[in-house]
Amino acid sequence: VCSSDLDVEPLTAEELQARIDTQWQVIRTQRNQILKDSDWTQVADAPVDKVKWAAYRQALRDMTTQADPFNVVWPTQGSISGG
């Protein structure tokens, strides 16, 4: 393989932004599914620690404030300390 066959053009600013936007959408989709799957934890008679679950769910909502959508830190239920 010739080295000239491996030349890669850098992304334009528009292409880079499109990839970032797509990655954020992937993260939001995954996050929204986790939130949907854990909605039951917030009903009045759910046998769970509602404070911890609420903190975990808020951490999920706050994920999109992270700087790099390709290196997000996903919260885990055990990593959230409630009230």
- Contact yes or no for 38/53 (Cβ under 8 A): yes
What pLDDT, on a 0 to 100 scale, did the predictor assign at position 1? 53
- Contact yes or no for 75/60 (Cβ under 8 A): yes
DSSP state of 48: S
What pLDDT, on a 0 to 100 scale, did the predictor assign at position 7? 81
pLDDT grade for 77, boundaries at 50, 70 and 90: confident
| DSSP string over 10-47 | PPPHHHHHHHHHHHHHHHHHHHHHHHHHTGGGGSTT-S
Write phi, then psi, for 65 (nearest 5 degrees). -90, -5
What pLDDT, on a 0 to 100 scale, did the predictor assign at position 14? 94
- Contact yes or no for 55/82 (Cβ under 8 A): yes
